[in-house]
Chain A
Amino acid sequence: MNTRTLPYREALREGLREALQRDPRVFLMGEDVGRYGGTYAVSHGLLEEFGEARIRDTPLCESTFTGAGIGAALNGMRPIVEIMTVNFSLLALDQIMNNAATLRHMSGGQLGVPLVIRMTTGGGRQLAAQHSHSLEGWYAHIPGLRIVTPATHEDARGMLLTALEDPDPVLIFEHALLLGVEGPVEGPPHPVDIDQAAVRRAGSQVSLVTYGGMLHKTLEAAARLAEEGIDAEVLDLRTLRPLDDTAIMTSLRKTHRAVVVDEGWRSGSLAAEIIARINEQAFFELDAPPMRVCSQEVPVPYARHLEEAAIPQAEDIIAAVHQLFG
């Protein structure tokens, strides 16, 4: 296999291009996905390649273009809806929650919504409190949705292809800080497993459980911990709903310590859910209380030093691990 290096946004684009080539039912719809080339240049060039019917610029109406994606999915298409940023998805939350997630069950199994919704998430770009949050944990609360968070370049292009094969709605959260990061891919884009978490760094003394944009800070923390002689395992959840409990508990049975790293706010967070599951399923494996590193409970501020203080950093992860070994 030939290994290449490319920016995350280009990996996303490779996934989109492959999806559009594979299946005539696939089309991309959202704000500025076409002529502008995508807010973050993810879909740059696709309008010229696939035309206006399949690369559809919409007016600013998140609720309606998301709902239209649901309707088109109900009517046999495989739409990809792009929402510019996670905070804007709240304008479409009614459609996501009350229609996409609900229709199969509410109709007694007659209907299905094979829709993919992509959006950027996360902070770190000094965009303040209406562009920087990590709400994937909220969405992971909703039965009927599948939530995936590609942290690697292979996942960035492959998860989209797998999501399009899913008969149910899949939300893909792409961390904005990753967009320009270079990383490896092998060969042409292909669907990847989205059922299982992945061990990104094997270790024996503590399990660092994370996902998405936090994976890279967590790997950095693990590398620094290794220099001190602490051997951390890093588990990339990849899918936040449904959670791969088996992978979490397998890692924990090896290390007996856990730190969950989650960019969401602490209270009612995905991290809280994971720790609850650890307590339910592996309590007696624990050598220390499970810890979590989450965002501070403030709207994400603009000033760089304040934003850095609000969002988990490698130092915070290291400090949490130190507490465990204290």
Chain B
Amino acid sequence: MSAPTPAPHPAIGAAGLNDPVHARALLWQMIRIRRFEEKCAELYSSGRIRGFLHLYIGEEAIAAGAMPALRATDHVLATYREHGHALARGVPAGAIMAEMYGKQEGCSGGRGGSMHLFDADRHFFGGSAIVAGALPLAVGFALADRLRHDDRITACFFGDGAVAEGEFHESLNLAALWQLPVLFLCENNYYAMGTALDRAQSQTDLAAKAGSYRLATESVDGMDVVAVARATEAAVDYVRSGQGPMFLEYRTYRFRAHSMFDPERYRDSTEVEQWKQRCPIETFARDAVATGLLEASSREDIVGEVDQEIAEAIDFAEAGTWESPATLSRDVYARAVPAGGATTDREAQP
């Protein structure tokens, strides 16, 4: 057995909320991400989306719970499994879908695809497909804010796989050494692609590992959206207060394959089924209704709302246009550099 069997542990769950508007917003965001990605999988099968497609299904409580804790001016960096983060950050669903289609109306102009969603206006900096590659950038974002005496913070999402990379260790060390306002958000789904955590890490307690760099750490149940929200709010407050960086681990599980090319030989279906019993949407919806926070009909209403939005996003992507190959070399440099050399005409941007 590689991933721990999900043990019953003190969950906050819907019982920790008393605001029906908040409860509905959390459920709405989780269902929105789930339905969006289920549609992406369909569109992949039908060939509308190509490349790699890494689904977040099972992990929605993290993006839905964590993102509202950040200010619009804070910086967010994420991985190649970032559809949920982009949606929760407010990147329009249509722009994300158009990006997956490769259309120029996409949030990266069709140059990035599923793994490279960017939205500079929303301080959403992708979309990195080099595992741990965004952590040094996050350190630099925070360093810039520190040098300007700005109270913005930088939130960097990454998976348990990143913890094995040198850049994880270098980045935590540097952020802690310089006391920078970085929030390291580790989505531990127990598998780095097909390699289980205990087959990759000598120390599987990732918070303990991170703590050796002398920064604050916390681990939280990533299947419990309220626990995620509470822990993230506290972590954001801590980092913004200038006490240095923090490492927050969300313990979660990916219900689907790593990507669309994954035959899932590395884990057994009983493990997957056990985790599915803790589906963040199912458990939260059930609890919220049971405690009277939400009407029984809420979930159905939300599905209707998000399906409408997703249908519009698909229409937007379908109606999108292909960039002409004539402008292929645009945006390699800010100023155009003619192919083949001399730089006499650097001002002309096609």
Which A positions have Cβ atoms within 8 angstroms of B? 27, 53-54, 58-59, 61, 63-77, 79, 94-95, 98-99, 103-112, 143-144, 146, 167-168, 195-196, 239, 242-247, 277
Is B158 interfacial (CB-CB < 8 Å)? no
B174 pairs with A58, CB closer than 8 A = yes
The distance in angstroms between the C-alpha atoms of A239 and B342, with both chains bound, is 10
Is B284 interfacial (CB-CB < 8 Å)? no
A99 pairs with B341, CB closer than 8 A = no
A77 pairs with B109, CB closer than 8 A = no
Q: Which residues of A contact B244 (CB under 8 A)?
A: none
B133 pairs with A95, CB closer than 8 A = yes
The distance in angstroms between the C-alpha atoms of A144 and B148, with both chains bound, is 28
Is B170 interfacial (CB-CB < 8 Å)? yes
B125-145 Cβ-contact flags toward A at 8 Å (1 or 0): 111101001011111111111
Q: Which B64-84 residues sit within 8 Å CB-CB of chain A?
A: 75
A99 pairs with B133, CB closer than 8 A = yes
Contact of A66 with B109 at beta-carbon distance under 8 Å, contacts A59-B177, A104-B332, A112-B334 already known:
no
B334 pairs with A61, CB closer than 8 A = no
Q: Which residues of B contact A106 (CB under 8 A)?
A: 108, 111-112, 116, 118, 126-127
CB distance from B133 to the nearest CB of A (A): 6
B331 pairs with A63, CB closer than 8 A = no
Q: Which of B120, B332, B342 contacts A144 (CB 8 A)?
A: B332
Identity of the chain B residue whose Cβ is nearest the Cβ of A146 in the assembled complex: B333
Q: Which residues of A contact B142 (CB under 8 A)?
A: 71
The distance in angstroms between the C-alpha atoms of A71 and B335, with both chains bound, is 21
B346 pairs with A68, CB closer than 8 A = no
Q: Which of B107, B334, B341 contacts A244 (CB 8 A)?
A: B341
A98 pairs with B173, CB closer than 8 A = no
Extra contacts besides A104-B334, A195-B344, A277-B341 (10): CB < 8 Å: A53-B147, A61-B173, A64-B170, A74-B125, A94-B130, A98-B133, A105-B111, A107-B127, A111-B118, A195-B342
A168 pairs with B334, CB closer than 8 A = yes
Q: Which residues of B contact A239 (CB under 8 A)?
A: 343
Q: Which residues of B contact A112 (CB under 8 A)?
A: 334
Identity of the chain A residue whose Cβ is nearest the Cβ of B328 in the assembled complex: A105
Q: Which of B104, B108, B167, B341 contacts A107 (CB 8 A)?
A: B108
Contact-residue size bin, chain B (C-beta under 8 Å from the other chain): 35 or more
Q: Which residues of A contact B335 (CB under 8 A)?
A: 167
B141 pairs with A104, CB closer than 8 A = no
Q: Which B314-350 residues sit within 8 Å CB-CB of chain A?
A: 330-335, 337-338, 340-344, 346
Is B119 interfacial (CB-CB < 8 Å)? yes
Q: Which B144-169 residues sit within 8 Å CB-CB of chain A?
A: 144-145, 147-148, 154, 166-167
Q: Which residues of B contact A277 (CB under 8 A)?
A: 340-341
CB distance from B53 to the nearest CB of A (A): 17
A246 pairs with B342, CB closer than 8 A = yes
Contact of A71 with B141 at beta-carbon distance under 8 Å, contacts A95-B136, A111-B125 already known:
yes
The distance in angstroms between the C-alpha atoms of A84 and B170, with both chains bound, is 17
Identity of the chain A residue whose Cβ is nearest the Cβ of B341 in the assembled complex: A245
Contact of A75 with B120 at beta-carbon distance under 8 Å, contacts A144-B332, A243-B341 already known:
no
Is B110 interfacial (CB-CB < 8 Å)? yes
Q: Which of A67, A146, A242 contacts B136 (CB 8 A)?
A: A67
CB distance from A273 to the nearest CB of B (A): 10
Is B106 interfacial (CB-CB < 8 Å)? yes
The distance in angstroms between the C-alpha atoms of A75 and B143, with both chains bound, is 9
Q: Which residues of B contact A69 (CB under 8 A)?
A: 140
Q: Which residues of A contact B173 (CB under 8 A)?
A: 59, 61
The distance in angstroms between the C-alpha atoms of A247 and B337, with both chains bound, is 16
Is B171 interfacial (CB-CB < 8 Å)? yes
The distance in angstroms between the C-alpha atoms of A80 and B316, with both chains bound, is 42
Q: Which residues of B contact A98 (CB under 8 A)?
A: 130, 133
A104 pairs with B144, CB closer than 8 A = no
CB distance from A72 to the nearest CB of B (A): 4
A71 pairs with B139, CB closer than 8 A = yes
B167 pairs with A108, CB closer than 8 A = no
A108 pairs with B118, CB closer than 8 A = yes
6 A-B pairs in the complex with CB atoms less than 8 angstroms apart: A53-B147, A68-B143, A71-B138, A74-B141, A108-B331, A196-B343
Interface centre among B75, B118, B130, B144 (most CB of A within 10 A): B144
B133 pairs with A75, CB closer than 8 A = no
A109 pairs with B170, CB closer than 8 A = no
A245 pairs with B333, CB closer than 8 A = no
CB distance from B348 to the nearest CB of A (A): 14
Contact of A107 with B136 at beta-carbon distance under 8 Å, contacts A167-B334, A246-B344 already known:
no
B344 pairs with A143, CB closer than 8 A = no
The distance in angstroms between the C-alpha atoms of A144 and B145, with both chains bound, is 26
Please give me the 6 A-B residue pairs with the lowest Cβ-Cβ distance, nearest first. A71-B140, A67-B136, A108-B109, A245-B341, A64-B170, A68-B140
Identity of the chain B residue whose Cβ is nearest the Cβ of A145 in the assembled complex: B333
B109 pairs with A109, CB closer than 8 A = yes
Contact of A68 with B174 at beta-carbon distance under 8 Å, contacts A74-B125, A110-B108, A167-B334 already known:
yes
B126 pairs with A107, CB closer than 8 A = yes
Identity of the chain A residue whose Cβ is nearest the Cβ of B139 in the assembled complex: A68
The distance in angstroms between the C-alpha atoms of A58 and B175, with both chains bound, is 11
A74 pairs with B137, CB closer than 8 A = yes
Q: Which residues of B contact A107 (CB under 8 A)?
A: 108-109, 111-112, 116, 118, 120, 126-127
The distance in angstroms between the C-alpha atoms of A63 and B106, with both chains bound, is 30
